[in-house]
Amino acid sequence: MVALHLEGDSGEYFSVGAHNASCWDGGADALIPEIATIAERIGEIVPSRAFFADQGGIKIKFSKKLSAVEFEEIVKLFPEDHLIKYGLDIYLSEWDGESPMLERIKRDQYIHLWWD
């Protein structure tokens, strides 16, 4: 079991990522397990706790301050050609184009994957 917990249930139980999943190859059947894997991987990188999950998004709070190495490992989970697919719309829309796109997660101490 990884360090990410949502009261004993996984992101798959809440169908995280199902909202608008029809836009992507394989639809919800393919995307939901991908998002669950990413959430679990975040929990392996840094102790975390999901504090919100539904079909439209998940918020994952870090239990400790992110190190530079942990930050880089999380960034690697999100290839540039999957930013929207993996729910990074909010970060992409606020990005200044110069700083690391996910820089905000270090300040906020959580990551928010969101589909609208």
How many Cα atoms sit within 13 Å of 101 on the Cβ side? 15
Asked whether 36 and 77 are in contact (CB, 8 A), the reply is: no
Strand partners, 111: 60
The structure's pTM equals 0.82
* DSSP states along 26-85: THHHHHHHHHHHHHHHHHHHS-EEEEEEETTEEEEEESSPPPHHHHHHHHHTS-GGGTTT
pLDDT score, position 108:
95
Give pLDDT tens digits for 71-104.
999 999 999 899 988 989 889 999 999 999 999 9
Give pLDDT tens digits for 17-33.
666 777 777 777 888 88
